[in-house]
Every structure is written in C-alpha cells, then in structure tokens.
Amino acid sequence: MVFVVPYLLIFLVFVIYPVGYGLWLARHPDSYVRLFADPIFPRTMINTVIFVVVSVNLKMIVALLLSGYFLNTRWWVKILAAVFILPWAVPSIPTILSMRFMLNPEWGIINTLIFRVTGMDGPNWLNDPTLALSFSMLAHIWKSLPFWTLILLAGRMAIPAEQYEAASVDGATTWQKFKFITWPSMRSLYLTSTILSMIWTLGDFNSVYLLTGGGPADLTHVLATLGIRYLRLDQVDLSLASVVVALPLVLPLLYFMMKRLSK
Amino acid sequence: MKRITLKSVTTEAKLLLIGIPVLLWTIIPIYHMVLFAISPRDQATSGRLWPKNPTLDNFAFVFRQKHFYLEHFWTQLGNSLVIALSVGILTLAISTMAAFAISRLKVRGGRTVMNLALFTYCIPAAFLAVPMYKTMGNYGLLNSQWALILAMVTIASPYCIWVLKQASDKLPYELDEAARMDGATALQLFRLVYLPLMVPSLVAVGTYALLLAWNEYLYAFLLLSNDASLTLAVALGNFLSADDSPWELLMTTGLIYAMPPAAIYYTFKRYMVSGLTAGAVKS
C-alpha cells in the first residue's frame, strides 16, 4: 500500500483539490450570464467545434493512409519515416513560431516568394479569421500527425501477414484487402484514437495561441485559449465558467475513453 | 541483380509521388527555422532558399547573451534542464511504485487508483491549467519552480503508470512467487526482481516525462513569471511581445532549444515507439 501513497497524494493535492476548488469558484450563475453575453464566446464555441471536428478527422484519415504507406520496407521509405517523426519529436514553440514568421505579410517567406513570382502582394494570412483558424488547424495537424501515424502503423503491423497472403492467392484487390482485412481489425483502434485525439485537440492551446494569439480581434479563440485570455484579464470566474461550459463536450468523451482504457 | 521493368519504375514513381509531398510538409517549418539561424541579420528576410553567406554568428550572439531578450539565456536553459530532469525522476519514482503495487502486489483498491490515473490522463491539460494556477496560488507556490515541477509530474504520471502497468502485467508471476518463497520482502522484490526486468519500459516512460516537461509552454508561462526563473520555452514565447523582435535570434534560440529533445528522441526511439504504442494497440 505504501507504494501507491505518493501517487495518491499527488492526485489529491493537484487533481482533486484544483478540480473541486475550480468548480467552487465557478458556482455563481452570474459568471455564466456574463460569459454568454460576451460576443467572443459564441464565436469561440463555433471555432472549437470546427477546430476539433475538421482537424481530428482530417488527421486520422491521413494517418490511416500514411500508416499503410510506411509499411513499405524500401530503404528510402524507412529514412522518410524517421524524418516524418520530427514534428512530434521537437517542441512546438519554435516550430509554430517559425510558421508564424513564414506567414508574416511583409517579411514572411511565403509572401516574399509570391511577390517575386507574381509581382503582387500576397494576402495578410493571419489577419483573416477563416485563414488564421485554418492555419492553426494545419499547425495542429502538422504537430500531431506523426504520433497517430505511428499508433496506426503499430496496429497495422499487428495484423498477421498470412491473411494478406491468403487474400492475394484468392485474387483480392488492394481495396478488398483493406475493406475485409485491414479495416475490421483496425476499426476499434481507429475509434479509440479518434476519441482520444478529440480530447487532446480540445486542449490544444499552443497551435492557436502561438500562431494567431486568438486574433484578429479575438475571432480565432478556441475554448483552450479563451480560458487563459480571461485569466490574463483577471476575470477568473469567467475563465473557470468557460471550462465548466466545455464539460458537456468533454465528459462523454472521457467516459468513453475510461471504458476503453480500463478494460 | 533485380531487373528494372516498366512495372517497377511505375511503382517507384507512385511511391515518390506520395513521399515527396510528405517530406516537404514535414521539413518546411523546420528548414525555415534552420535557414533563419544560419542567415546574417540583414539577409534573413531576403526570401532566398539558401543564404548567400551562411554564418554561425547568430549562435555566438545567443551564447554570449548579446540581446535584451537573451540576457538570461544560460540561466533559462539551465532552468529547463533542471525542471525536466526533476519531473523525469519524480514521475519515474512515483509511477513505478504505483504500477508495481497495482500490477504485482495487487493491492486492494489498485483498480480504483488506475482508474483515477486514467481519468486524469483524459482531462485536457489546458482545461486543468486555470484551476491549477489558482491552486498553486493557494499553496503559495506561484513563481516557484516547484509549482511547475509538481504540475508536470501530475500531468505526466497517469500515462506512465498506465504504460508501466501494461508492461508489468506481462512479467511471469512465477518470478514473484519464487522470490517470495526465498523470503523476499515487497521492497526486495521491487528492487531486485521488478526494476531490473522493467528497464526498457522505465527508459521509455522516464524519457516521456522528461520531454513533456522540457516542451511544456502553457503551464510554464502561467506558473513562472520572474525572468531568471523562466524556462527557455517561456522566454521564446516572450520574444513575441515586441514587433521588432530579432527573428534570426529567436529562431536560433528555438533551434538550440529543439535539439536536445530531438536527439533524446532519436537515441531512445526503439524504446519510445514500442513503449508508447504497446498500450494503444491492445485497446
């Protein structure tokens, strides 16, 4: 029993207490009235849903396809696989800042190249809310795609090769092999990964904050950055209310994950 | 010798057709960072894909802390290192003990502890950040590096416990029984039987916690504020507060900051990938 005490202490002091204290601080109905009255809030909710639904599905589909690609044992595909992990292996601050500089309207390399080729000024990428949010999603996908590709690759490698060989003998096409062998054995892993990725994507602060800072005009906030914005404005009650509002989104996912993982 | 046929050329071409975009997508933001780091100040934004006179001057600038933003470079690098190591060691100790108790000693309530840990693992870290910030304030730990260390241990350990539990469930129970027959106590069992057998998973988990702490931005910037106690991650973020920040120095510092985790990752790649994906594939 002594062996679990350190973790239980950590859990009580740094999980239970903060969660309880946070809920207690967020108890005033007034905080929610003011939160819903803030014009930034509905926009943030829409952004959050778009951010999660689009980037998670896009990322998982590409990861599923690429995991099949990386099964290939050619030497240069192996090298490519090692390079492909880089976004996940390096911290996100410098790489996202690097993307931010690339997109700078005056000095960024993208607009400099556009000017050189076309003689015209490129768009002010991060000054348009739709473009800015899209680039945040791309930054998020760039960072997390390698991880999910690895997970799905491990799933694919667990499928016995004999199944594919037998299918080849029977003259199955690539699509049939995917439909009748790969997908049935990957479906559960794919679903679990999607749900877990949704939870983590909801909590992705860096991709939005470091690229757009929530701007222009606070139009690209997601729930993860909105809470911090309120905190910096010294509106702790609004900040915690925005987290509580996210619970109906998070709890079902959390429940699903718990059931899967604790099996 | 393999015969070069039309079919093999087409297959190769098809593979390249996917491989080249994947390579570009992966490498461009990182290459852009390197490009800045080796460009002289006045050429950094010239739009060239390779600088006319590549230079390492920027690194010398950073190492000699010759800019307002870099005044505390070495201190901040040290802070990042101390914090990452502390988190790695503490997480490793706490989660190994917990996993041992749950998986090998089968303590009562072990399942509950595992579920509590999994619950924490599934909370998005950004949502816990504000309550954690208020809590650290209550404990009087704000601006102390302990706040960041403890917060990161809290975030890192659930996953570590889970991975370690999965790995230790696979060890044969006859080992424990044999050791018990010889009169080994739980502590001896832990030290002499369990730890040596778990080394690969311990490496994976320790590295995971260390990298998580080194890379953390949000918690670090909330919990630390004094310039001399910041980690390098926060210092990099602070470059953004000014419009005239020296990009080439920021990118150079960023590159220096990104290299240790990349090096560690590639060194322990074998452990990391198998350790981190083992649990996922089972579910």
Say yes or no: B132 and B149 in one domain. yes
Q: Does A119 touch chain B (CB under 8 A)?
A: no
> Cβ B222–A262 below 8 Å, yes or no?
no
Q: Which domains does chain A have, with CATH numbers?
A: 39-261 (1.10.3720.10)
> Cβ B129–A72 below 8 Å, yes or no?
no
Q: Which residues of A touch B101 (CB under 8 A)?
A: 1, 3-4
Tell me the nearest-neighbour CA distance from B271 into chain A, angstroms: 13
> Which of A93, A143, A229 is the best residue to mutate to test the B interface, defined by the most B CB atoms within 10 Å of its own CB?
A93
Say yes or no: B107 and B239 in one domain. yes
A–B CB contacts, 8 A cutoff, strictly below: 266
Domain-ending residue, one of B63, B87, B106: B63
> How do residues A66-106 score in pLDDT, each as one tens digit?
999 999 888 999 999 999 999 998 999 999 999 998 888 88
Say yes or no: B203 and B273 in one domain. yes
User: What is the distance between the alpha carbons of residues B154 and B140, in angstroms, rounded to a whole number?
Assistant: 18
* Minimum Cα–Cα distance from A21: chain B residue: B131
Q: Which residues of B touch A87 (CB under 8 A)?
A: 26, 29-30
Number of domains in chain B: 2
The rounded average pLDDT for each run of 10 residues, N- to C-terminus, in chain B (283 residues) is 73 89 94 88 74 81 79 90 95 93 86 88 87 91 90 92 88 83 84 86 90 92 86 86 75 92 87 66 47
Say yes or no: B25 and B165 in one domain. no
Q: Is residue B1 part of a domain?
A: no
Tell me the nearest-neighbour CA distance from B1 into chain A, angstroms: 16
pTM, rounded to two decimals: 0.91
Q: For residue A216, say if its preceding peptide bond is cis, omega within 30 degrees of 0.
A: yes
> Cβ A240–B217 below 8 Å, yes or no?
no
Q: Which helix (H) or strand (E) holds B106?
A: none
pLDDT score for B278: 60
Q: Is residue B85 part of a domain?
A: yes
Q: Is residue B114 part of a domain?
A: yes
pLDDT score for B187: 85
**pLDDT at residue A263 above 70?**
no
pLDDT score for B50: 82
pLDDT score for B283: 41
> Cβ B129–A228 below 8 Å, yes or no?
yes
Say yes or no: B102 and B188 in one domain. yes
Say yes or no: B31 and B83 in one domain. no
Q: Which of B98, B130, B151 shows the shortest C-beta gap to A227?
A: B130
> Cβ B130–A243 below 8 Å, yes or no?
yes
pLDDT score for B193: 84
CA dihedral angle for residue B23, residue A174, residue A71, residue B22, rounded to 10 degrees: 10
> How do residues A184-225 score in pLDDT, each as one tens digit?
989 988 998 999 899 889 989 999 999 998 878 889 999 999
- From the CB of residue B279, how many other CB atoms can be counted at a distance below 10 Å? 17
* Minimum Cα–Cα distance from A260: chain B residue: B283
Domain-ending residue, one of B35, B63, B91: B63
Say yes or no: B10 and B134 in one domain. no
Domain-ending residue, one of B41, B63, B85: B63
Q: Does A232 touch chain B (CB under 8 A)?
A: no
Say yes or no: B58 and B73 in one domain. no
User: What is the distance between the alpha carbons of residues B183 and B89, in angstroms, rounded to a whole number?
Assistant: 30
Is residue A181 within 8 A of residue A167, CB to CB? The reply is yes
One-letter amino acid at A170 equals D
| Token digits of residue A100 | 């931010």
User: What is the distance between the alpha carbons of residues B116 and A83, in angstroms, rounded to a whole number?
Assistant: 36
Residue B226, phi-psi category: left (phi > 0), alpha (psi -120 to 50), beta (remainder):
beta
Tell which wins on pLDDT, B169 or A52: A52
Between CA A220 and CA A245, with CA A27 as vertex, the angle to 5 degrees is 30
Tell me the nearest-neighbour CA distance from A166 into chain B, angstroms: 22
> Cβ A82–B266 below 8 Å, yes or no?
yes
Q: Is residue B125 part of a domain?
A: yes
Say yes or no: B55 and B77 in one domain. no
* Minimum Cα–Cα distance from A23: chain B residue: B131
Highest mean pLDDT among A44-48, A103-107, A158-162, B45-49 belongs to A44-48
Say yes or no: B16 and B83 in one domain. no
Say yes or no: B91 and B18 in one domain. no
pLDDT score for B63: 85
**CATH number of domain containing B241:** 1.10.3720.10
Is residue B49 within 8 A of residue B36, CB to CB? The reply is no
What residue numbers bound the domain in which B223 lies?
69-282
Q: What are phi and psi of B140, to 5 degrees?
A: 70, 25
> Which of B105, B127, B234 is the best residue to mutate to test the A interface, defined by the most A CB atoms within 10 Å of its own CB?
B127
| Token digits of residue A119 | 């003689």
pLDDT score for A121: 82
Is residue A136 within 8 A of residue A220, CB to CB? The reply is yes
* Minimum Cα–Cα distance from A157: chain B residue: B281
> Cβ A97–B250 below 8 Å, yes or no?
yes
Say yes or no: B16 and B107 in one domain. no
pLDDT score for B107: 84
Q: Which residues of A touch B157 (CB under 8 A)?
A: 7, 10
Q: Which helix (H) or strand (E) holds B122?
A: helix B110-122
* Minimum Cα–Cα distance from B274: chain A residue: A154
Query: Which A-chain residues 26-65 have CB contacts (< 8 A) with chain B?
Result: none
> Which of B9, B14, B22 is the best residue to mutate to test the A interface, defined by the most A CB atoms within 10 Å of its own CB?
B22
Q: Between the CA of residue B126 and those of A216, A242, B13, B221, B235, what are the distances in Å?
A: 22, 12, 43, 12, 20
